[in-house]
Structure 1
Amino acid sequence: MLEIADSVQKVGDAMVQQFGQTPQEACWILAVNTQMRVLEVNRVAMGTLDSVTVHPRDIFRRLVALNAYGFIVVHNHPSGSLRLSQADRKLMTQLAMCSGVMQFHFLDFMVISSRGYTSLRSQHWLTEISVETLYDLWTKNDKV
């Protein structure tokens, strides 16, 4: 099992090996400490052949309990596709917003299959949201 999450390739290869053949969609989190040591790999949701419902509270509840520094989300596609669905994009944005508020480091969102993995951090597709960005979202349309 993965002990240190010190490279995208190491995490991607380990997750593909462990979960790439899973026959139904699921979502896991890798919680890490400040030294990138893996505190836990936890399945937070199990779905069907072509969908899984994940709620941010299920992810952050565990991260708080572990006193984690950061996390990586790993989601599988049994179809073999490594492309993000609209639901995947929505979840990524929700997690970015929540992690900004709760001050957890959202390190990566990975899609895996038996064919390999895609890292949104490596592709520069990971949504970056800070507390300041969230504040701007709430205040930019205010008419004071």
Structure 2
Amino acid sequence: MQEIKSIQGLGSFLAQTYGSQPQETCRLIAVNSQLQILEISTVALGTVNQVQIHPRDIFRRLVSLNAYGFIIAHNHPSGQLKASRADWQAIYQLALCSSIMQIVFLDFIIINRSHFCSHCTLKRWPKITLETLLGLWTTMAKL
């Protein structure tokens, strides 16, 4: 896949290509401003039921690629497409970091063997505002 033409096409490609992995894996899809894929890379490898996703690993690669934006693809070997508490924490952390770094966080897609769940498409997306960032900044300044 060279260019993202639709979430449906990307989700189907990801499910077919990576959905049957026996352990949880986090993949980074880095794109340019024309939504052409610069790279698909594995940024975290976990166990059968969890994977640690660290923003530093994501953004280190994005900056080195001079990426405009990114999508995270994460498989659930259990077949469940529902985001876990750890998934929501990762989504929120990545949304905050992407606002600060000004690298567009386009989607967080959970995949299994044959299906996918796009959190952006389902409108399950954190709203990051200037107030959110300022609140984070002022809270840290008090520490």
- Residue 8 of structure 2 corresponds to 9
What TM-score do the two structures reach when normalised by structure 1?
0.92
User: Deviation above 4 Å: which 4+ runs of structure 1?
Assistant: none
Aligned residues of 1:25 and 1:50 also touching (Cα < 8 A): yes
Distance 1:115 1:19 in 2: 10
Unpaired runs of 5+ in structure 1? Answer: none
Aligned residues of 2:12 and 2:114 also touching (Cα < 8 A): no
- AA partner of residue 63 (structure 2): V
- What secondary structure does 2:57 align onto? helix
- Residue 115 of structure 1 corresponds to 114
- Residue 71 of structure 1 corresponds to 70
* 1:7 CA drift (Å): 1.1
Considering only aligned residues, what root-mean-square deviation do their CA atoms show, in Å?
1.6
Aligned residues of 2:24 and 2:48 also touching (Cα < 8 A): yes
Unpaired runs of 5+ in structure 2? Answer: none
* 1:60 CA drift (Å): 0.3
1:31-76 superposed Cα distances (whole Å, 9 cap, x missing partner): 0000000000010000011111111000000000000000000000
How many residues matched? 140
Aligned residues of 1:27 and 1:44 also touching (Cα < 8 A): yes
